[in-house]
Amino acid sequence: MEPVKTTLPAYPEKATLEGRNKVIGFWLFLGGEVVLFGSLFATFIALRQAFHTGPTGEELFDLRLIALATGILLTSSMTSVMAIVGMHRNDVKSLRTWMSVTIFLGLCFLGLEIYEFTHYTSMGHKMSSSPFGSAFYTLVGTHGAHVIGGVIWMILLVARLPKTGLTVVTAPKFYLASLYWHFVDLIWVFVFTVVYLMGKVG
Amino acid sequence: MYLLAGGFFFLLGGLEALLIRIQLMYPDLDIFVGGTFNQLLTMHGTTMIFFAAMPIIFALLNAIVPLQIGARDVAFPFINALGLWLFFLGGVILNASWFLGAGAPEAGWTAYAPLSTPAFSHMGVDFYVLGLQVAGIGTWLGGINFLVTIINMRAPGLTFMRLPMFTWTAFVTSALVLFAFPAITVNLILLMFDRLFGGAFFNADMGGNVVIWQHLFWIFGHPEVYILILPAFGIVSDVISTFSKKRLFGHSAMVFATVLIGFLGFMVWAHHMFTVGMGPIANSLFALATMLIAVPTGIKIFNWLFTMWGGQVRINTASLWSIGFIPTFLIGGMTGVMLGVAPADFQYQDTYFVIAHFHYTIVGGMVFGLFSGMYYWWPKMFGKMLNEKLGKWNFWTFFIGFNLTFFPQHFLGLMGMPRRVFTFLPNAGLEMGNFVSTIGAFGMTLSILIFLLNIVITNRSEQTVPADPWDGRTLEWTIPSPAPEYNFAQTPLVRGLDALWVEKMEGNGQISYAEPLGRIHMPSPSVLPFLMAIGLTFAAFGFIYHTWFVAATGLIFTFVLMSIRSVKDDPGYYIEVEDIDEGVKV
């Protein structure tokens, strides 16, 4: 059942004090996440040549697969923007559709990553095989865990949308989920560069 | 709650310290030797920093920051409760190690790899890793909460440059928490993977790098010491200004000094690593940055002195602690500059000189500041005044005991006594200093007992306290003592620095309000934060004992609760106008 169209303020996510608190709090949360990933990247860079007896990045990585995953994830960033544009027009249907597309793309990315990890472990690239292996799975895995978290969050929000409708209470949640998704995508750009490109070329 | 739990852990850490000092009272004693001594000193350091100092600071931030900015509550009450339970259960996990047959962690509070890797330590370190992880998440959430509260919920007219100093330091401290804690989170994850899943981060045989631990630890750890000391600076500023009956000298300079200290706090972590072998260039840069911190800190010291100069200084327990703070912290700061000289540091490295230095800053600085704050705000928090007579005994026994304990340690260090060892030989010239030091530790113990007695006596007394017992200057003194659950019946209107003092000078008798009296919206109480923290605690024990089923159940339980929280909205409830206490006349 489609909820009745009500008049929403122009920026519903920032219309209430609670909403504004959430938005600022979430930006700060992301600030902390930057340090988290920064530390992981620093660790990875320090250990990226420590292959021990395990396989090297050059032997492992297939850039075609990674390029596909990157394309999927960056596209999903755009679709989540479309969802928020829809929300600002108070268009619940557009919000739901584009959010669902974003979720779908997120799941595709996860599928590729699971395939990638199982493929690597079969080639002898494990957490315990070398410091490079430990650092690789910790960094890329932490990013993957963030993707899973984002997908579950968006699924919950979209599933509840018919019941809750779009209000000044729910709008901040969609806005933040979209913000989070952009952040996760942004981190992937660095993963792509530092882990895969530098591992293959550098 | 924070105060109670933090106080409990403080006593625990203090007891561990006393046992350490008893062992070192005479040469060649064998009461606590070897592994037991290592466990004691590891737990003393870890408990004091993470589970005593942090929560007591958070207790004051929670109680006072909303009052000083004219807010009804913090921005996220739910997250506040979650943070509290995570911190508390983290402490429980850590201390459970004493009782579960595993033995407490023993790798030092810094848990340097490879000492903390499975090759060189037993299960105790698992409790360290997971206890700190759970508590760290809680602290980090608390930091975000205070930042948002201060940014978004200030009363009308309360611009940033009009914020009381304590709130300013709370703001910078929270920013440090936000950016420092993720570094240790990552570090603990790396160590956990090494210990539980066969990771090779710190396994030098395979090409791992143990210095990563030190870098990440101090990228967190150095800002952490400013997280501890900045709120003390804020308390001292507020207390000295109130009891000198003058506005704080150079308020804006103090603000810039605070921000600068916060910033430089992140630039100097490697001064803990001069002897690691980073090379002369890196050592010089970090030495330079370290010594720069003396500049804003010096500005602060002079501003406190200038505030008292020409003021009508009232001496009571609260102001005694603040005034005692100045020389003791100054000594700690000066030895800090000495340690910042990289070549000289090779000499001081790992001796009692370092111990003396950081106890002069953390005890002589932070603990003095916290005591000052407790005597100052006790009436606002609990509606009763702590006994002044016992308070002065409390101060003097602590002041004397503290200096007896730690002043000789400077010389012990210069004479070559290394830290972290459980005994020393007779006739090495170290007997006198160690003996005096242990006597001092008993002095501080006596002082803490007096403080506990004071709390009990105060709690029993029937006295009531006016809203403004100290002739205060800031917003927290405009509301009844103890503060009602909604803090401010009406949001105040701020018209200058030291908002209440401005109104007093104009003879208004009370603060003006920004809104008419109306019903007040309150959040509903919720059991979810507690359950979430329980879930994570279960998961932590699952990891410690390698029972993945328990770990997974705990994590899933927490995530399900998070999902429930994220889709369910809290409508809260209202306090009606007739139930609200009208504003107070001061």
**Residue B448: what pLDDT?**
94
* Cβ distance of A131 and B206 shorter than 8 Å: yes
Residues 6+ apart with CB under 8 A from A134: A47, A127, A128, B190, B193, B194, B199, B200, B201, B208
Q: Confidence class of residue A102 from pLDDT cuts 50, 70 and 90?
A: very high
Residue with tokens 């929670």: B62
Angle, alpha carbons B19-B22-B23 (nearest 5°): 90
Q: Measuring CA to CA, how many Å separate A171 from each of A96, A161, B187, B274?
A: 12, 10, 36, 51
Total domains present in chain A: 1
* Cβ distance of B76 and A173 shorter than 8 Å: no
Q: Is the residue at A53 inside a domain?
A: no
CATH code: domain of residue A143: 1.20.120.80
Q: Measuring CA to CA, how many Å separate B327 from each of B291, B334, B395?
A: 19, 10, 14
Fill in the DSSP letter of residue B367: I
Q: Of B145, B183, B200, which has the smallest distance from its Cβ to A134's Cβ?
A: B200
Nearest CA distance, A167 vs chain B (angstrom) = 12
Q: Of B186, B208, B215, which has the smallest distance from its Cβ to A40's Cβ?
A: B186
Given CB atoms, is B186 within the 8 Å cutoff of chain A?
yes
**Residue B571: what pLDDT?**
73
**Residue B503: what pLDDT?**
85
**B434: number of Cβ within 10 Å:** 23
CA distance linking residue B483 with residue B492, whole number of Å: 15
Average pLDDT of chain A to the nearest whole number: 90
**Counting one residue from A and one from B, how many pairs have CB atoms under 8 Å apart?**
116
Q: Is the residue at A29 inside a domain?
A: yes
> Could you tell me the mean pLDDT of each successive run of 10 residues in chain B, 586 residues long?
88 91 88 87 91 91 92 87 90 88 84 85 87 92 94 90 94 95 93 89 89 93 93 95 92 94 92 90 93 94 94 92 95 93 91 94 94 94 91 95 94 91 87 92 94 93 87 89 85 86 82 79 82 86 85 86 77 75 52
Per DSSP, the residues of B459-476 read HH------S-TT---SGG
Residue with tokens 């009745």: A4
* Cβ distance of B197 and A128 shorter than 8 Å: yes
Q: Are A182 and A26 in contact (CB under 8 A)?
A: no
A2: pLDDT strictly greater than 60: no
* Assembly ipTM: 0.89
CA distance linking residue B164 with residue B183, whole number of Å: 30
Given CB atoms, is A51 within the 8 Å cutoff of chain B?
yes
Main-chain dihedrals φ then ψ at residue B542, nearest 5 degrees:
-55, -45
**Residue B586: what pLDDT?**
44
Which residues in chain A are contacts of B199 at CB distance < 8 A? 127-128, 134, 138
Which residues in chain B are contacts of A29 at CB distance < 8 A? 144
CB hemisphere CA count around B436 (13 angstroms): 16
**Residue B72: what pLDDT?**
86
Q: Is the residue at A10 inside a domain?
A: no
* Residues forming beta bridges with residue B522, ordered by sequence position: B573
Given CB atoms, is B178 within the 8 Å cutoff of chain A?
yes
3-state secondary structure of B351: strand
A1: pLDDT strictly greater than 50: no
Residues 6+ apart with CB under 8 A from B87: B2, B5, B51, B54, B55, B58, B135, B138, B139, B142
Q: Is the residue at A32 inside a domain?
A: yes
What pTM does this model have? 0.91
Q: Compute the average pLDDT of residues A155-174.
A: 88
- Tokens coding A59: 């032997």
Given CB atoms, is A162 within the 8 Å cutoff of chain B?
no
Q: Is the residue at A1 inside a domain?
A: no
Residue of B nearest to A16 (CA): B152
CA distance linking residue B509 with residue B511, whole number of Å: 7
The rounded Cα A109 to chain-centroid distance in angstroms is 9
**Residue A4: what pLDDT?**
47
Which residues in chain A are contacts of B212 at CB distance < 8 A? 42-43, 46-47
Given CB atoms, is B75 within the 8 Å cutoff of chain A?
yes
- Tokens coding B566: 């994220």
CA distance linking residue A65 with residue A109, whole number of Å: 10
Nearest CA distance, A171 vs chain B (angstrom) = 12
Q: Are A47 and B200 in contact (CB under 8 A)?
A: no
Q: Is the residue at A8 inside a domain?
A: no
Q: Is the residue at A12 inside a domain?
A: no
Residue of B nearest to A158 (CA): B567
CA distance linking residue A30 with residue B383, whole number of Å: 39
Q: Is the residue at A80 inside a domain?
A: yes
* Crossing angle between the packed helical segments B165-196 and B54-68, to the nearest 10 degrees: 140
pLDDT digits (tens, 9 = 90+) for B165-174: 999 999 999 9
Q: Compute the average pLDDT of residues A13-35.
A: 91
Side chain identity at residue B59, one-letter code: A
A183: pLDDT strictly greater than 60: yes
Given CB atoms, is A12 within the 8 Å cutoff of chain B?
no
Residue of B nearest to A176 (CA): B566
* Cβ distance of B212 and A43 shorter than 8 Å: yes
Given CB atoms, is B151 within the 8 Å cutoff of chain A?
yes
Q: Compute the average pLDDT of residues A154-170.
A: 87
CA distance linking residue B135 with residue B122, whole number of Å: 22
Which residues in chain B are contacts of A128 at CB distance < 8 A? 197-200
* Cβ distance of A32 and B198 shorter than 8 Å: no
Q: Of A25, A28, A50, which has the smallest distance from its Cβ to B207's Cβ?
A: A50
Given CB atoms, is A163 within the 8 Å cutoff of chain B?
no
Share of chain A above pLDDT 90, in %: 64
Q: Compute the average pLDDT of residues A74-91.
A: 93
* Cβ distance of A157 and B567 shorter than 8 Å: yes
Q: Which of A14, A17, A18 is the mutation pick for testing B, counting most B CBs within 10 A?
A: A18
Tell me which residue range forms the domain holding A128.
17-48+64-201
Which residues in chain B are contacts of A27 at CB distance < 8 A? none
User: Sign (positive/negative) of CA torsion A12, A13, A14, A20?
Assistant: positive
Nearest CA distance, A57 vs chain B (angstrom) = 16
Nearest CA distance, A16 vs chain B (angstrom) = 11
Q: Compute the average pLDDT of residues A56-60.
A: 87
* Cβ distance of A28 and B185 shorter than 8 Å: no
Nearest CA distance, B197 vs chain A (angstrom) = 7
Which residues in chain B are contacts of A43 at CB distance < 8 A? 186, 190, 201, 212, 216
* Cβ distance of B201 and A156 shorter than 8 Å: no
Given CB atoms, is A24 within the 8 Å cutoff of chain B?
yes
* Cβ distance of A173 and B566 shorter than 8 Å: yes
Q: Is B101 exposed, middle or buried (0-12, 13-18, 19+ CB in 10 A)?
A: exposed
Given CB atoms, is A127 within the 8 Å cutoff of chain B?
yes
Q: Measuring CA to CA, how many Å separate B332 from each of A43, B273, B291, B328, B480?
A: 33, 19, 13, 6, 38
